[in-house]
Amino acid sequence: MPCSSYPHGFYLAFSTQQTCITNEIITMTDTLDSSPSWHACLRQHTAAAHQALEHAAPLRRLVAADLSRVEYGGLLARFWGFLAPLEPLLRERLAHSTWLVFVDPALRLDGLHADLHLLGIDPAGLPVAKGDWLAADPAAAVGVLYVLLGSTLGGQVIIRALGKSLGLSAASGAAYHAAEAARAERAWPRFLATLDATPWNTSAARTLQTAAVATFQHFQDWLEQPIPTEERL
């Protein structure tokens, strides 16, 4: 069971309520039955890492009233450096699967690329993170999608803040976050429905959960790294 420790030879059943698990112990089978609360279980398991990222100083600056254009450009450059290397990895791991349709809405690289150019930043010259932390497993890629697609839910808040602090809109440097707001309404519910309908075996469930937590943690680590002088914008 992905949200708890496994007793040897058993797993704890998902609850149909908002809590992640019940106390009922069921003989382990090869497959974990999906339930309507599967995504709630994953949300519970990643809560600490999610909260830590949300409170990270770089992300809090995105909605700050005194955000500068240079600072905003630096944040977008960091976003690009983390997200761009993930695209080929996700496409490779999810090739020929139903999950592949969620890669573009999760990464939103087209909008990010456009914003960087409008700010006078060439994405080709930006430092990028290593993706060697991502396991070569489709379930791990789905864990990454869970985090990145879920992040689109904050798009409306961020786009309003950028409009107030820098006067930006979707057409003038905030296309990435505008795409977040628009695509969240479509892709996120479909992703959760697919997640809940998937019969995860125990190994895949653990891989999914581990990758989701790792995505939050590695993104935070990347954002908080000091930027060398030669890389400053």
* Helix 202-224 × helix 69-83 angle, to 10°: 150
72: which DSSP letter?
A: H
- Check if the beta carbon of residue 10 is closer than 8 Å to that of residue 177: no
- Give the pLDDT confidence score for residue 202 in this predicted structure: 84
Q: Are 205 and 2 in contact (CB under 8 A)?
A: yes
> By C-alpha distance, which of 31, 32, 8 is closest to 21?
32
- Return the beta strands (E) in the chain as ranges: 10-14, 21-27
Whole-number pLDDT of residue 31: 39
| DSSP3 helix / strand / coil % (the chain, rounded to 5) | 65, 5, 30
Q: For 34-231, which CATH class?
A: mainly alpha
Show the CA angle centred on residue 182, arms to residues 176 and 187, nearest 5°.
Answer: 105
Q: Where are the domains of the chain?
A: 34-231
- 77/222 Cα distance (integer angstroms): 11
The pLDDT value given to residue 126: 94
* Residue 16: how many other CB atoms lie within 10 Å: 11
Q: What is the pLDDT of residue 182?
A: 66
Q: What is the SS3 assignment for 173? A: coil
Which residue's structure tokens are 């914003």? Answer: 115
pLDDT tens for the 233 residues of the chain, in order? 444 432 222 222 222 233 343 222 222 233 344 444 578 888 888 999 999 999 999 999 999 999 999 999 999 999 999 999 999 999 999 998 999 999 988 888 999 999 999 999 999 999 999 988 999 999 999 999 999 998 887 778 898 999 999 999 988 999 998 876 666 667 889 999 999 999 888 888 899 999 999 999 999 999 998 764 344 44
Task: Give, for 34, the enclosing helix (H) or strand (E).
Answer: none
Whole-model pTM: value is 0.81
Amino acid at 115: D
Position 183 scores a pLDDT of: 65
Predicted pLDDT at 184? 63
